[in-house]
Amino acid sequence: MFDFAVFGSLFLTLFVIMDPPGITPIFLALTSGRAAKVQRRMAWQAVCVAFGVIAVFGVCGQQILDYLHVSVPALMIAGGLLLLLIALDLLTGKTDEPKQTKDVNVALVPLGMPLLAGPGAIVSVILAVQKADGFDGQVSVWSAIIAMHVVLWITMRYSLVIIRVIKDGGVVLVTRLAGMMLSAIAVQQIINGVLQVVHA
Protein backbone atom coordinates (compact mmCIF):
# COMPACT_ATOMS: atom_id res chain seq x y z
CA MET A 1 0.00 0.00 0.00
CA PHE A 2 0.94 3.63 -0.46
CA ASP A 3 3.05 4.74 2.52
CA PHE A 4 1.68 8.13 3.59
CA ALA A 5 4.25 8.43 6.38
CA VAL A 6 7.14 8.22 3.89
CA PHE A 7 5.35 10.57 1.48
CA GLY A 8 4.62 13.16 4.17
CA SER A 9 8.09 12.99 5.69
CA LEU A 10 9.94 13.51 2.40
CA PHE A 11 7.45 16.11 1.12
CA LEU A 12 7.83 18.22 4.27
CA THR A 13 11.61 17.84 4.19
CA LEU A 14 11.79 19.00 0.57
CA PHE A 15 9.30 21.81 1.26
CA VAL A 16 11.54 23.19 4.00
CA ILE A 17 14.72 22.79 1.92
CA MET A 18 13.38 24.00 -1.45
CA ASP A 19 11.21 26.66 0.26
CA PRO A 20 8.56 27.63 -2.37
CA PRO A 21 7.53 30.87 -0.54
CA GLY A 22 11.18 31.89 -0.17
CA ILE A 23 12.01 31.21 -3.82
CA THR A 24 9.29 33.62 -5.00
CA PRO A 25 11.20 36.91 -4.50
CA ILE A 26 14.36 35.36 -5.94
CA PHE A 27 12.44 34.16 -9.00
CA LEU A 28 10.89 37.62 -9.43
CA ALA A 29 14.30 39.28 -9.13
CA LEU A 30 16.03 36.99 -11.60
CA THR A 31 13.26 37.13 -14.22
CA SER A 32 12.34 40.82 -13.99
CA GLY A 33 12.40 42.74 -17.26
CA ARG A 34 11.31 39.76 -19.33
CA ALA A 35 7.96 39.30 -21.05
CA ALA A 36 5.28 37.44 -19.07
CA LYS A 37 5.33 34.58 -21.59
CA VAL A 38 9.10 34.21 -21.15
CA GLN A 39 8.78 34.29 -17.36
CA ARG A 40 6.14 31.54 -17.44
CA ARG A 41 8.40 29.45 -19.66
CA MET A 42 11.33 30.00 -17.30
CA ALA A 43 9.23 28.88 -14.32
CA TRP A 44 8.47 25.64 -16.19
CA GLN A 45 12.10 25.21 -17.28
CA ALA A 46 13.41 25.75 -13.73
CA VAL A 47 11.08 23.09 -12.34
CA CYS A 48 11.96 20.65 -15.15
CA VAL A 49 15.70 21.17 -14.58
CA ALA A 50 15.31 20.73 -10.82
CA PHE A 51 13.24 17.57 -11.27
CA GLY A 52 15.72 16.17 -13.80
CA VAL A 53 18.66 16.71 -11.45
CA ILE A 54 16.78 15.31 -8.46
CA ALA A 55 15.63 12.28 -10.49
CA VAL A 56 19.15 11.48 -11.71
CA PHE A 57 20.59 11.69 -8.20
CA GLY A 58 17.63 9.75 -6.81
CA VAL A 59 18.33 6.88 -9.20
CA CYS A 60 22.13 6.80 -9.10
CA GLY A 61 23.28 9.69 -6.91
CA GLN A 62 25.54 7.81 -4.52
CA GLN A 63 27.29 6.07 -7.41
CA ILE A 64 27.88 9.43 -9.14
CA LEU A 65 29.40 10.99 -6.02
CA ASP A 66 31.54 7.93 -5.35
CA TYR A 67 32.76 7.76 -8.96
CA LEU A 68 33.77 11.44 -8.94
CA HIS A 69 35.22 11.13 -5.41
CA VAL A 70 33.04 14.06 -4.35
CA SER A 71 31.83 14.23 -0.78
CA VAL A 72 28.51 15.73 0.27
CA PRO A 73 30.23 18.59 2.18
CA ALA A 74 32.20 19.48 -0.98
CA LEU A 75 28.92 19.59 -2.91
CA MET A 76 27.43 21.89 -0.27
CA ILE A 77 30.40 24.28 -0.27
CA ALA A 78 30.51 24.46 -4.08
CA GLY A 79 26.78 25.15 -4.24
CA GLY A 80 27.11 27.82 -1.56
CA LEU A 81 29.89 29.62 -3.44
CA LEU A 82 27.85 29.61 -6.66
CA LEU A 83 24.82 31.03 -4.84
CA LEU A 84 26.99 33.70 -3.22
CA LEU A 85 28.16 34.92 -6.63
CA ILE A 86 24.54 35.21 -7.80
CA ALA A 87 23.56 37.00 -4.57
CA LEU A 88 26.33 39.58 -5.04
CA ASP A 89 25.03 40.27 -8.57
CA LEU A 90 21.53 40.85 -7.19
CA LEU A 91 22.78 43.14 -4.42
CA THR A 92 24.92 45.27 -6.75
CA GLY A 93 22.30 45.45 -9.50
CA LYS A 94 24.40 43.71 -12.15
CA THR A 95 21.43 41.58 -13.15
CA ASP A 96 19.88 44.74 -14.61
CA GLU A 97 22.49 44.82 -17.41
CA PRO A 98 21.07 43.90 -20.84
CA LYS A 99 23.90 41.51 -21.75
CA GLN A 100 23.15 39.34 -18.75
CA THR A 101 19.46 39.25 -19.58
CA LYS A 102 20.24 38.07 -23.11
CA ASP A 103 23.02 35.59 -22.54
CA VAL A 104 22.04 33.75 -19.36
CA ASN A 105 19.04 31.50 -18.86
CA VAL A 106 18.53 31.86 -15.12
CA ALA A 107 15.95 29.06 -15.25
CA LEU A 108 18.86 26.63 -15.56
CA VAL A 109 21.39 28.30 -13.23
CA PRO A 110 20.83 29.36 -10.50
CA LEU A 111 17.07 28.63 -10.33
CA GLY A 112 16.96 25.00 -11.45
CA MET A 113 20.27 24.23 -9.78
CA PRO A 114 21.52 24.92 -7.14
CA LEU A 115 18.57 26.94 -5.76
CA LEU A 116 15.86 24.30 -6.21
CA ALA A 117 17.94 21.15 -6.76
CA GLY A 118 20.59 22.07 -4.22
CA PRO A 119 22.83 19.82 -2.12
CA GLY A 120 20.25 19.59 0.69
CA ALA A 121 17.48 18.38 -1.61
CA ILE A 122 19.82 16.01 -3.46
CA VAL A 123 21.10 14.38 -0.26
CA SER A 124 17.56 14.08 1.16
CA VAL A 125 16.34 12.32 -1.97
CA ILE A 126 19.37 9.98 -2.10
CA LEU A 127 18.76 8.92 1.51
CA ALA A 128 14.98 8.57 1.03
CA VAL A 129 15.41 6.33 -2.03
CA GLN A 130 17.97 4.18 -0.22
CA LYS A 131 15.71 3.77 2.86
CA ALA A 132 12.47 3.10 0.95
CA ASP A 133 11.27 -0.50 1.38
CA GLY A 134 9.95 -2.26 -1.67
CA PHE A 135 7.81 -1.00 -4.54
CA ASP A 136 5.30 0.79 -2.29
CA GLY A 137 8.06 2.74 -0.55
CA GLN A 138 9.59 3.80 -3.86
CA VAL A 139 6.18 4.94 -5.17
CA SER A 140 5.68 7.02 -2.02
CA VAL A 141 9.13 8.63 -2.36
CA TRP A 142 8.73 9.52 -6.04
CA SER A 143 5.16 10.75 -5.47
CA ALA A 144 6.51 13.17 -2.84
CA ILE A 145 9.21 14.38 -5.24
CA ILE A 146 6.69 14.98 -8.06
CA ALA A 147 4.20 16.68 -5.71
CA MET A 148 6.92 19.02 -4.45
CA HIS A 149 7.85 20.09 -7.97
CA VAL A 150 4.19 20.72 -8.83
CA VAL A 151 3.99 23.03 -5.81
CA LEU A 152 7.17 24.82 -6.92
CA TRP A 153 5.78 25.36 -10.42
CA ILE A 154 2.46 26.71 -9.13
CA THR A 155 4.28 29.06 -6.73
CA MET A 156 6.56 30.53 -9.39
CA ARG A 157 3.92 30.53 -12.15
CA TYR A 158 1.46 32.62 -10.13
CA SER A 159 4.09 34.80 -8.44
CA LEU A 160 4.14 36.72 -11.74
CA VAL A 161 0.92 38.41 -10.62
CA ILE A 162 3.01 40.14 -7.95
CA ILE A 163 5.10 41.90 -10.61
CA ARG A 164 2.01 43.56 -12.07
CA VAL A 165 1.14 44.86 -8.60
CA ILE A 166 4.52 46.12 -7.33
CA LYS A 167 5.70 47.69 -10.65
CA ASP A 168 9.35 48.51 -11.48
CA GLY A 169 10.22 50.19 -8.18
CA GLY A 170 8.97 47.22 -6.22
CA VAL A 171 10.93 44.83 -8.41
CA VAL A 172 14.16 46.70 -7.58
CA LEU A 173 13.36 46.45 -3.87
CA VAL A 174 12.52 42.75 -4.18
CA THR A 175 15.78 42.21 -6.08
CA ARG A 176 17.86 43.71 -3.26
CA LEU A 177 15.95 41.77 -0.60
CA ALA A 178 16.37 38.57 -2.61
CA GLY A 179 20.11 39.26 -2.81
CA MET A 180 20.32 39.56 0.96
CA MET A 181 18.30 36.37 1.51
CA LEU A 182 20.28 34.45 -1.07
CA SER A 183 23.63 35.57 0.37
CA ALA A 184 22.54 34.37 3.83
CA ILE A 185 21.44 31.01 2.38
CA ALA A 186 24.75 30.70 0.54
CA VAL A 187 26.88 31.49 3.59
CA GLN A 188 24.87 29.07 5.74
CA GLN A 189 25.34 26.34 3.14
CA ILE A 190 29.10 26.94 3.11
CA ILE A 191 29.19 26.89 6.93
CA ASN A 192 27.25 23.60 7.01
CA GLY A 193 29.67 22.07 4.52
CA VAL A 194 32.72 23.23 6.48
CA LEU A 195 31.26 21.94 9.75
CA GLN A 196 30.64 18.52 8.21
CA VAL A 197 34.27 18.43 7.02
CA VAL A 198 35.50 19.36 10.52
CA HIS A 199 33.28 16.74 12.20
CA ALA A 200 34.45 14.10 9.74
Smallest CA-to-CA distance from 124 within 20, 22, 11, 45 is with 11
Instruction: Note the pLDDT of residue 103.
Output: 53
Q: Is the pLDDT of residue 51 over 50?
A: yes
Alpha-carbon gap, residue 32 to 171, rounded angstroms: 7
Percent of the chain with pLDDT over 90: 35
Q: How confident is the model at residue 19 (pLDDT cuts 50, 70, 90)?
A: confident
pTM of the complete model: 0.76
In the 8-state DSSP scheme, what is residue 115? Answer: I
Mean pLDDT of the region 23-50: 89
Q: Is the pLDDT of residue 112 over 50?
A: yes
Q: How many helices (H) and strands (E) does the chain have?
A: 7, 0
